[in-house]
Structure 1
Amino acid sequence: MSATSQLEQLVAACHWIGSRGWAPATGGNMSVRRDATSCLLSESGKDKGSLTADDFIVVDIANNRAASGRRPSAETGLHTLLYRLFPDAGAVLHTHTVNATVLSRVEQGEVLRLHGYEMQKSLSGQQSHLDSVEIALFDNDQDIAALAARIEAFARTSPLRYGFLLRGHGLTCWGKDVSEARRHLEGLEFLFECERQRRLLERS
């Protein structure tokens, strides 16, 4: 599928995300791989629910540079890291949802483990609710280069699949294309909501 078609799908996904309140107050950032060396990344400070194709900036995957001089998202370095780590990644979605943000603070370990949910099968490669899904958790950091280095170091020794959580911040997920990234986002959000509710009920 062409980069133009993927960008059209990404714009539609951004409107869908915005309609659900998953990227409030211009938060979040979205991108799609343009080719082997560059991606198209949402411009900083834009409402994700009303983005157009003109609101995406060409960014060099190797060095995070935006040739146009416009300012891409603050988390540009996380998007480009994922495109470098995963050559088959075609789209990255970063959202600020209540479920992801709350669970990222409640869970104290390095991973959030999900088990026993049929909707785990919404994630590529997951075949059964009997398996466990581990979503990596990283402490938030305003130094994106330092954060990216920690994520890269984790990925060298541990599986990093579907997405990761930043404490008190939100979810970043990806897929081979916009459709898969969107499915991973929706599936993970459902799982996070279930897990949050389960933990609340267990304490009541």
Structure 2
Amino acid sequence: MTQTSQLDQLVSACHWIGERGWAPATGGNMSVRQDAEFCLLSESGKDKGSLTRDDFIQVEIASNRVPSGRKPSAETGLHTLIYRLFPEAGAVLHTHTVNSTVLSRVEKGTALELQGYEMQKTLAGQHSHLDCVPIALFDNDQDIDGLAKRIEQFAAQNPLRYGFLLRGHGLTCWGKDVNEARRHLEGLEFLFQCELQRRVLESK
């Protein structure tokens, strides 16, 4: 698929995310891989539900350098990290949803483990509800370079698939292209809602 059509699909996905309230108050950031050297990342401070093609900024994956001098998202370093760690990743979506934010604070471990849900099969490579799907959890940090380094160190020794949670912050997920990243986002959000509801009911 051409770079142009991938960017158009990303703009459409951003509008879809905005309609669901998954990136409120200009929160969140989204990107698509342009080629081996560059990605296109949403500009800082923009409402994700009304983004256009012109609101995406070219960023060098290896260095986070922005040739145009415009201001990309504060979390640029997390997007470029994913593209460096996973050459097959073609799109990254970062959202601030209630489910992911609350669960990331309720869960005290280093991963949110999902098991027993048929919808786990929306995630690439998952074929059974019996499998355990761990979604890594990292403490939030305003030092994005330091946070990226911690995630990179984790990924060197542990499998990191689909996405990760930042405590009290939200979900970052990815896929081989925009459609897969969008499917992973929707599937994980459904699973998070189920898991949160299960925990509420079991606590009564």
TM-score class, shorter-chain normalisation, is over 0.9
Residue 16 of structure 1: how far off its partner (Å): 0.0
In structure 1, the residue matched to 2:128 is 128
Whether 1:41 aligns to 2:41 is yes
The 5 A counterparts of 1:110-121 are: 110-121=110-121
Any idea what SS the aligned residue of 1:62 has? coil
1: CA distance, partners of 2:68 / 2:44: 14
Any idea what SS the aligned residue of 1:190 has? helix
1: CA distance, partners of 2:139 / 2:131: 26
Residue 44 of structure 1: how far off its partner (Å): 0.1
Whether 1:137 aligns to 2:147 is no
Q: Which one-letter code corresponds to 1:144 in the other structure? A: I
Any idea what SS the aligned residue of 1:157 has? coil
Any idea what SS the aligned residue of 2:174 has? strand
**Percent identity of paired positions between Structure 1 and Structure 2:** 80
2: CA distance, partners of 1:141 / 1:16: 28
Whether 1:30 aligns to 2:30 is yes
Kindly report the root-mean-square deviation, in angstroms, between the aligned alpha carbons of the 2 structures: 0.3
Aligned length: 204
In structure 2, the residue matched to 1:171 is 171
Whether 1:200 aligns to 2:200 is yes
In structure 1, the residue matched to 2:21 is 21
User: TM-score, with normalisation over the residues of structure 1?
Assistant: 1.00
Q: String of CA shifts for 1:132-181, please: whole Å, max 9, x gaps.
A: 10000000000000000000000000010000000000000000000000
The 5 A counterparts of 1:76-155 are: 76-155=76-155
Question: Which stretches in structure 1 are left out of the alignment for 5+ residues?
Answer: none
2: CA distance, partners of 1:143 / 1:2: 34
2: CA distance, partners of 1:148 / 1:32: 18
Any idea what SS the aligned residue of 2:156 has? helix
Moved over 4 A (4+): none
2: CA distance, partners of 1:155 / 1:4: 31
In structure 2, the residue matched to 1:184 is 184
Q: Which one-letter code corresponds to 1:32 in the other structure? A: V
2: CA distance, partners of 1:185 / 1:176: 13
Q: Which one-letter code corresponds to 1:149 in the other structure? A: K
User: TM-score, with normalisation over the residues of structure 2?
Assistant: 1.00
Q: String of CA shifts for 1:8-61, please: whole Å, max 9, x gaps.
A: 000000000000000000000000000000000000000000000000000000
Residue 123 of structure 1: how far off its partner (Å): 0.1
